[in-house]
Structure 1
Amino acid sequence: MQQFPVQSRIIKGVFFSQEDGQLRIWFKNGEIRNFTGVPESEVVAMCEAKSPGQHYIDRIRKQFQRLAA
């Protein structure tokens, strides 16, 4: 998994696997959420967004399949 830089009030780390489209988001509250089928362009857009946390809520949280941690 590749780590993507992110500046966010709620997200501590973003990790993405190009091989299988798995996205792992590590939140500052300690929670980790895993998603599958996420295109790299969506990961980049989230990390570069003015508010990565809001981008996550609007474009990733319910649009992509969440995997059990």
Structure 2
Amino acid sequence: MHRIAVSSRLIAEIAYDPDLKYLDVTFQDGVVRQLADVPTETVSGLLTATSPGNYYMTYIRKVFPRRDGTTVSQNARTA
């Protein structure tokens, strides 16, 4: 996966594997979320959004499963 810096107060960078549909989101605090089943169109939307952080919170965070099998509701963190 190749990393792409993101201009966001929430997100530092992302990495995406289009073959596996894996998206890694690295937050400004260093936390990394590894998500599965993320379509290329969603990643394109994240990269072109006026606010990548808001896009992540609205269209990605609660929609796609984490690669460790947990969901947002199973984890107390907000990102």
TM-score calculated relative to the size of structure 1: 0.90
Which consecutive unaligned segments of at least 5 residues does structure 1 have? none
Matched residues, number = 68
3-state SS of the aligned residue for 1:12?
strand
* Structure with the larger RCO, 1 or 2 (CA within 8 Å, 6+ apart): 1
CA contact (8 A) 1:16 1:24 kept: yes
Equivalent residue, structure 1, for 2:33: 33
**Backbone CA RMSD of aligned residues:** 1.0
* Partner Cα distance (2:53, 2:28) in 1: 11
Contact 1:11–1:52 (CA under 8 A) maintained in structure 2:
yes
Output the CA distance in 1 between the equivalents of 2:59 and 2:67. 17
CA distance in 2, matches of 1:44, 1:6: 12
SS at match of 1:64: coil
Identity of aligned residues (%): 32
Which runs of structure 1 show a deviation greater than 4 angstroms over 4 or more consecutive aligned residues?
Answer: none
Determine if contact 1:5/1:47 at 8 Å carries over to the other structure: no
What's 1:54 paired with? Answer: 54
Structure having the larger proportion of residues in strand? 1
